[in-house]
Every structure is written in C-alpha cells, then in structure tokens.
Amino acid sequence: MSKDNKLNHIGFIMDGNGRWATSRGLTRTQGHKEGLKALENLIKVLAEDSSVKQASFYCFSTENWSRPALEVKTIMGLLKDFLQNDIQKLWENSIEVKIKGDLSEKSPFDNNLRSLLLAVNDKKLEEPKLIVNLCINYGGRDEIIRATKTLIAKGLEVTEENLESEILQADLPLDLVVRTSGEQRLSNFLLWQSAYAEFIFTDYHWPDINAEKYAELKDSFFNRDRRFGKV
Ligand code: IPE
Ligand code: IPE
Ligand code: MG
C-alpha cells in the first residue's frame, strides 16, 4: 500500500566507484568516470519526475582531500571537465545547479576550478524544473559551523530559523537519503537537512544506479511510515 509521502528532496551518497572498478579489474579512475556518467543519467531521470524538486549529491567530502594526491587530481580533473563541457546541457534542460561546500579562498581548489565552481552558483534559472545541489568540499559539520559563525558575525541570535536561512540557502528538508555500496553511515553528509529523512542503503555500487533502480528506491520510500514524532 502506498502512503501519502512526499519526495520533495532526495539525497544521494554516491559511494562505491572504487569498488565497482576494482571488482572488474579496472582502475579507480575508470570507476569515477562511470560514476559521473551514472550521475548525469540519473539527473535526467529526476528532471522528468515532477514529484522531486531538489536532489543533492555527495561528490567530494572535506575528508576526501586526504586520499592519494593522484586520485584527488583525477577527481578534480573530471569535475573541471564536467563544468566546462557538460553543465550547459543541464541548464538548457531547465535544471539549476548549486555547489554546496566551502568555496572560500582558503579552500584547497586551484583558482581556475574555484572560479568555475563560483560561476555555477551565479547562474539562476527562471523556473527550474529541478534544483541539483552538488556537495563538493562539503562537510555537514563544517556547514553548520560556517553558518553559526555567519550568524554571530551578523549579530543575529542563534535560532533554528536563523541557522536555516544561513545553512540551507533554499534547501528543503531531505525526505530520503540513499547510500550505495553497502556502508551504513552518513560520512558527514547534510547532517542538519537529514534530521527526519528516510534512509536506504543499497548493495549495488554507485555506477550501477539507473532509472529502474531509482523506481525501486521510490517504491520503497512511498511505503515507509513517516511519523515526524507524532503517533
Ligand atoms: C565515491 O566512491 C566517490 C568519492 C568519494 C569521491 P569511492 O571512491 O568512495 O569508492 P569506494 O568506496 O572506494 O569503493
Ligand atoms: C562519502 O564516501 C563521500 C562521498 C560519497 C563523496 P566516502 O567513501 O568518502 O566515505 P567513507 O570513507 O566510506 O566513510
Ligand atoms: Mg567510498
């Protein structure tokens, strides 16, 4: 039986690119490339789903900088390529993209990549059919700390409302968080926004996600009993 749940905002912890690749005798780089393709395909599917207004994707955490330098360089290269060649297609398809994460001068991006990321946040669409948040150099704790510091600097009281206006920009609360690849943890993803989210952990790796698997995730979500603290 389907419940009256709303799937306004869905989040994905895109895990398992490396394991997907090594289990096939491929390099981790190939895993990240396939992961990016899967992301682009899934965004197309989500854009055609009128129930979903926002989708957030965990692309690179504040902790992921501690990976081997070559892997970090590869991921940043793929990101740059996406921003230079592929993001335009999303805009043409009425999909607005926001980068969530620390893009300040002290962030470890090179200057060229940092300006490409900042330019994405300047691009606003009239009536987007989907808003995609890409969480890059993102950490949930870092986001809450930065928002709190902003409130203090502005002399505002630290309340949920004020914090939300700083943290979320225009985020909706997360209704569903999906993590691929079997690990059952948040790894510092959208901590504030996931307070009342449903969670699904899948055994398959990120590059294997597709329209059919998304339909299964939705099915499972719409059968959850969400109570929000009530009876
Ligand atoms: C997710 O896949 C992509 C990033 C974190 C950038 P992983 O690279 O974490 O893949 P596994 O977990 O090692 O398989
Ligand atoms: C979480 O995956 C971050 C992203 C998907 C970008 P990780 O692979 O970095 O998380 P852990 O290390 O398994 O917790
Ligand atoms: Mg991982």
Distance CA 47, CA 52 (A): 8
Ligand 2 binding pocket includes 183 (Cβ within 6 Å): yes
Tell me the ligand closest to 75's alpha carbon: 1
Distance CA 231, CA 227 (A): 6
Q: What is the pLDDT of residue 195?
A: 93
Q: Using the atom order of ligand 1, give the atom closest to the CA of residue 61.
A: 5
Look at residue 168 and give its three-state secondary structure.
coil
Distance CA 45, CA 28 (A): 26
Pick from 85, 198, 60: which is nearest to 142 by CA?
60
Distance CA 226, CA 186 (A): 20
Q: What is the pLDDT of residue 172?
A: 86
Four-way CATH pick for 13-222: 3.40.50.1820, 3.10.450.710, 3.40.1180.10, 3.30.420.40: 3.40.1180.10
Q: What is the pLDDT of residue 182?
A: 97
Ligand 2 binding pocket includes 72 (Cβ within 6 Å): no
Burial label for 178, CB within 10 Å (0-12, 13-18, 19+), is: buried
Distance CA 170, CA 71 (A): 32
Q: In three state form, how does the secondary structure of 59-98 look?
A: EEECCHHHCCHHHHHHHHHHHHHHHHHHHHHHHHCCEEEE
Q: Using the atom order of ligand 1, give the atom closest to the CA of residue 14.
A: 1
Ligand 2 binding pocket includes 79 (Cβ within 6 Å): no
CA 60 to chain centre: 9
Sheet holding 198-201, edge to edge: 95-100, 130-138, 54-61, 9-13, 176-179, 198-201
Residue pair 94/128 in contact (Cβ under 8 Å)? The answer is: yes
Active site residues: 15, 64
Q: What is the pLDDT of residue 2?
A: 58
To the nearest whole percent, how much of the chain has pLDDT over 90?
Answer: 92
Ligand 2 binding pocket includes 99 (Cβ within 6 Å): no
Q: What is the pLDDT of residue 170?
A: 62
Distance 134 CA to ligand 2 centre (A): 14
Distance 56 CA to ligand 2 centre (A): 15
Q: What is the pLDDT of residue 40?
A: 98
Distance 114 CA to ligand 2 centre (A): 22
Q: Which among 13, 15, 183 is the best mutation to test ligand 1's pocket, defined by most ligand atoms within 8 Å of the CB? A: 15
Q: Which residue ranges of the chain lie beneath pLDDT 70? A: 1-2, 168-170
- Quick count: other Cβ atoms within 10 Å of Cβ 202? 19
Q: Which among 12, 17, 64 is the best mutation to test ligand 2's pocket, defined by most ligand atoms within 8 Å of the CB? A: 64
Tell me which residues have their CB closer than 6 angstroms to ligand 1. Answer: 14-19, 60, 64, 75, 181
